[in-house]
Structure 1
Amino acid sequence: MTLYDEIGGFDVLLAVCRRWHELCLTDPVSAHPFERPMHPRHDERLAAYLAEAFGGPHLYTGGYGDESSMMRLHAGNGEHAELDGICLAFFDQALADAGVAGATAARVAGYFRAATLAQHAYRESPDQVPDGLPFPLA
């Protein structure tokens, strides 16, 4: 069984992503990245990314981009440890609010934390992101 199956599939991932977005908007620090113009289907795009990472359908690379393009979207924002901490706590809360618990929640949260930390490698500029980065699977 994949992590995608364990979590309950795309609808549960989308519920987590939507709830995370809602929670982030409640805090002035975590709201900041969401206040600029965004992809109109940001929550769906994030759910597609996570679905693929967790062994589900290739929704992200099948229509939204690849790992390098995703890293470029988040690159060039400098250090933001406070933002990361708040967003990670809200992600944990979104998992709980969506009914994801136990070992499954721990694995999903661990992946999200690792993905957040991986973005630090390109904090100076999107130009730092090489083409062809491998898609990180959970």
Structure 2
Amino acid sequence: MSTVFEAAGGADGMLRLAHAWHERVMADEVVSHAFSHGFRPDHSVRLAAYWGEALGGPAVYSDSYGDETSVVRLHSGNGPHEEMDRRAIACFDEALTDTGLDVDPRLRDVLHDYFTWATTVAMTKYHGSADDVPPGLSIPRWSWDGLEG
């Protein structure tokens, strides 16, 4: 059986999804607020590498950009934002359609479940301060059966 990463088209599929999601997010009046401070020009490339690694692909993000601690710190210290999270998930689901990754219901469901978990669990543990995020966290892996380990 292939990994979720492979089923989603590998690195190219992740990059298409990251671009589509970013376009949807920037068009959303609530979610785009998260990018009001600006964002890196290579945001979609980095995001694709992160998602790829989390979904069973190579450790491109960890080898090139950082670890889970750095990612969680970027998303921490902003207080709860349930509406923004809900809308970010909706943008992700629309991006799945934009990229054709919604055609296979099993793939669509596992990608949706991963993004929902990452958005509402993994990235929301440290609302108070990014300084609370412990060092040395590894990128969680997600398979066809959900969170590994």
* Structure-to-structure mapping, 1:15-30, within 5 angstroms: 15-30=16-31
Q: Which runs of 5+ in 1 are unaligned?
A: none
TM-score normalised by the chain length of structure 2: 0.89
C-alpha deviations, 1:48-83, integer Å up to 9, x for none? Answer: 001111111111001010001110011111010110
TM-score normalised by the chain length of structure 1: 0.96
Question: What one-letter code is carried by the residue in structure 1 that aligns with 2:139?
Answer: F
* Structure-to-structure mapping, 1:97-112, within 5 angstroms: 97-101=98-102, 102-112=105-115
Which structure is higher in helix share?
A: 1
Number of residue pairs matched? 138
- Residue 134 of structure 2 corresponds to which residue in structure 1? 130
Runs (4+) of structure 1 moved beyond 2 Å? none
Contact 2:75 2:124 in 1 (8 A): no
Over the residues paired in the alignment, what is the CA RMSD in angstroms? 1.0
C-alpha deviations, 1:17-56, integer Å up to 9, x for none? Answer: 1111111111211111122221221111110001111111
Q: Which runs of 5+ in 2 are unaligned?
A: 143-149
Does the alignment pair 1:11 with 2:12? yes
